Amino acid sequence: MMDREERKLRRSPFVIRDRALNDYLQGIACRLAGDHCPDVRVHVVNTPLFNASMAPNGMMQIWSGLLLRAENEAQLAAVIGHEIGHYLEKHTLERLRDVKSASAFGQFIGLFGLVGALGQLAMLAGMFSFSREQERRADVIGVSLMHRAGYDPAEAAKVWTNLLQELRARPGGDPTANSPMFATHPPAAERSETLNKLAAEFSGGETRKDAWQEKVRPFRREWLKEEIRRGQHEESIALLTRLNAADAGEPDYLHARGEVYRLRAGAGDTDLALADFQAAAALGGEPPETHRGMGIIYRARKQPDAARASFRRYLETAPSAPDQAMIKSYMEDLGI
């Protein structure tokens, strides 16, 4: 059944088939898995949430939301190492044996395929969560695999701290209900403490941030668009503020945060949006939509000269943008 799910996954339009990215991520998984490398098959899935999973047949899914959130290779290695830990300890098989009814069995198998509705994922994952002892074992194995592969295990605790910080930003948000990863794992505070202790035992190693940035950069704008599209403005602002701090001088993150502020449109948000757009433009290499966002704000503020200049810049830098006609109509209203 798991092989059937994997065949479906291979055909899915949601899978990212870029050879270079897949080879790179497969390489990280192999570096961690060592002799078990031939067992692990990595599939990258375009879904804007933090998640990775590994099925008992060796099918590993990594979601684009996780790739956007990892600041370096070591942080991704921490998640992959943890999932390989479950695989080596056969935790998933143990859970499978515990599943009694046929319908629950089908749901459990489905957890490792492409989950149809994201809203159901956390609920299903929670139903089939690993025990606290299994999670602790997977953490121990994950950190030791990181250490053996030359990664800095201190990055493992940061992954969970970062994710918790993001989920807590949502008004009234319950992290355990909002994220598939938290639904299947122990409380993040406990996890961070455990991982910090393990990192102290296995100190040293590298983060490989530069290699990471180079490999994911070609996909980042698309992943950022999907993050903005989620409409979870508070979570996105927390995430993008962290990424801006971790990678100062990156116009993509500044533009994305500016766009989230603009769309949230709360008190003071257009000022914050404009500041981010201007900072992105000052850095250079900003997405063309930076200028569209500035133009829309200037237009609303009745600053026609500034609006026209921004719209003109957008049309010049994005000549095939789908909203060219709409932007031109805005310019006509302003009086070209």
Partner 1 sequence: MKKLLLTVALLALSGCVSVAKIESGDKTVGERMSVHIDGAWNHVNAPGIGPAELWTMEGTPVDQLLIYSVLKDGQAVHAESSGSDNKNFTFRSNMQPDEIAGLFEGMLTRDGSRYRLVKLEPVDYSGLKGFRFEYSLVRKIDNVQLSGVGYGAVSRNELFAVLYMAPRLVFYPRHIARVEHIGRSMRVRP
Binding site for partner 1 (CB under 8 A): 11-14, 46-47, 114-119, 122, 170-174, 177-178, 229-232, 263, 265, 292, 296, 300, 322-323, 325-326, 329
C-beta of 4 vs 197, nearer to partner 1: 4
Contact 290, 251 (CB under 8 A): yes
Least separation in angstroms between residue 332's CB and partner 1 is 9
| CB of 36 or CB of 230, closer to partner 1 | 230
Between 152 and 289, name the residue whose CB sits nearer to partner 1.
289
60: left (phi over 0), alpha (psi -120 to 50) or beta: beta
d(CA 3, CA 22): 19
| Neighbouring C-beta atoms of residue 14, cutoff 10 Å | 13
Q: Which is nearer to partner 1, 9 or 28 (CB)?
A: 9
Nearer to partner 1, 9 or 195 (CB): 9
As a whole number of Å, the CA-based R_g of the chain is 22
Closest approach of partner 1 to the CB of residue 319, in Å: 14
* Measured CA distances, 116 to 13, 47, 181, 185, 275 (Å): 13, 11, 17, 22, 38
Min dist. Cβ of residue 266 to partner 1 (A): 11
Sole residue written with tokens 């600041």: 71
Tell me the closest approach of the beta carbon of residue 206 to partner 1, in angstroms: 34
User: From the CB of 259, what's the least distance to partner 1, in Å?
Assistant: 10
